C-alpha cells in the first residue's frame, strides 16, 4: 500500500473561479506544477478530489469536467508533473439536472471519493494527507483517517476565520507549496 496526497482542485491546485465553466478561467497558482512535481519525486501518489456541483446545477456538462481535467493533466505534464488519479462528484441534493440530483457519499465532506481512490490505487489512508481550502475538505480527510492541511488560498483564509466546531486541520499554511513542505517534512 502506498501513501497519497489528495488535493482539492478549486482554490487549492488552481485559482477559485466560482463555477469553473470555461478553460480560460482555469488558472494554476504559480507554484502548482512545482508542488505536484515535488510530491511525485517524494514517491507520493497525487490524487485530485473535487466537488463539481455545477454539473448537477446545469451550469456545465459533465463532459466539460473531463475536458478541464485533460487540460490540467496536459499542463502538469508540460512541467514534468503528473497526478495518479482524478475523482469528482457531479452531484448535489438540490441539483436542477435530474440525473445528478442526489444525496451521495462522494460529495465532500463525505469521504466517498477518498475511499474509492484508496481502493483503486491501493492507498494507505492512515499514511495519507488531504489538502484543501474548505472545512469540508478537512472533514472528508478526518473521516477517512488521513492527516489534513488547510491552505489559505481560495476560501481558506475565510474558513480559518470561521472555525467549525469539531473540525480541526493538522496544519494551516499559506498555500499548496507550503503544504507540500509540511507533508515531505512529516515522518513516513
Residue 107 within binding range of Zn ion, rule CB under 5 A:
yes
Q: Is the peptide bond before 109 cis (omega within 30 degrees of 0)?
A: yes
Residue among 97, 104, 171, 177 that touches Zn ion (CB under 5 A): 104
Residue 55 within binding range of Zn ion, rule CB under 5 A:
no
Query: Using CB distances below 5 to 8 A depending on partner kind, what does residue 104 bind out of Mg ion, Zn ion, none?
Result: Zn ion
- The interface region with Zn ion, picked from 24-32, 38-46, 98-106, 121-129 by CB under 5 A, is 98-106
Residue 106 within binding range of Zn ion, rule CB under 5 A:
yes
Active site residues: 8, 10
Q: Which residues pair with 51 in a beta bridge?
A: 89
In the complex, minimum distance from the CB of residue 29 to Mg ion, in angstroms, rounded to a whole number? 12
Strand segments (E) across the chain:
4-7, 45-51, 85-89, 129-132, 147-151, 171-173
CB atoms within 10 A of CB 43: 9
Query: Using CB distances below 5 to 8 A depending on partner kind, what does residue 133 bind out of Mg ion, Zn ion, none?
Result: Mg ion
Q: Which is nearer to Mg ion, 57 or 127 (CB)?
A: 57
Give me the residues that bind Mg ion (CB under 5 A), please. Answer: 8, 10-11, 133, 154
In the complex, minimum distance from the CB of residue 171 to Zn ion, in angstroms, rounded to a whole number? 27
- Reference 32, options 10, 50, 54; nearest CA is 10
Q: Which is nearer to Zn ion, 4 or 140 (CB)?
A: 140
Residue 167 within binding range of Zn ion, rule CB under 5 A:
no
Farthest CA pair distance, the chain: 46
Residue among 35, 89, 140, 144 that touches Zn ion (CB under 5 A): 89
Q: For 56, which DSSP code?
A: T
Do 131 and 151 form a contact (C-beta atoms < 8 A)?
Answer: yes
> What proportions of the chain, in percent to the nearest 5, are helix, strand and coil?
40, 20, 45
Binding site for Zn ion (CB under 5 A): 89, 91, 104, 106-107
Amino acid at each position: 500500500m502506498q501513501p497519497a496526497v489528495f488535493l482539492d482542485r478549486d482554490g487549492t491546485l488552481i485559482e477559485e473561479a466560482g463555477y469553473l465553466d470555461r478553460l480560460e478561467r482555469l488558472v494554476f497558482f504559480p507554484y502548482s506544477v512545482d508542488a505536484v512535481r515535488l510530491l511525485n519525486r517524494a514517491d507520493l501518489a497525487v490524487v485530485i478530489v473535487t466537488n463539481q456541483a455545477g454539473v448537477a446545477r446545469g451550469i456545465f456538462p459533465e463532459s466539460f469536467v473531463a475536458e478541464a481535467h485533460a487540460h490540467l493533466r496536459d499542463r502538469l505534464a508540460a512541467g514534468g508533473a503528473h497526478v495518479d488519479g482524478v475523482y469528482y462528484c457531479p452531484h448535489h441534493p438540490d441539483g436542477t439536472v435530474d440525473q445528478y440530483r442526489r444525496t451521495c457519499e462522494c460529495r465532500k465532506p463525505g469521504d466517498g471519493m477518498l475511499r474509492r481512490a484508496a481502493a483503486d490505487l491501493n492507498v494507505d489512508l492512515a499514511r495519507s494527507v488531504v489538502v484543501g481550502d474548505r472545512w469540508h475538505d478537512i472533514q472528508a480527510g478526518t473521516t477517512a483517517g488521513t492527516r489534513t492541511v488547510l491552505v489559505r488560498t481560495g476560501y481558506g483564509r475565510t474558513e480559518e476565520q470561521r472555525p467549525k466546531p469539531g473540525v480541526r486541520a493538522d496544519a494551516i499554511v499559506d498555500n499548496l507549496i507550503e503544504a507540500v513542505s509540511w507533508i515531505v517534512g512529516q515522518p513516513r
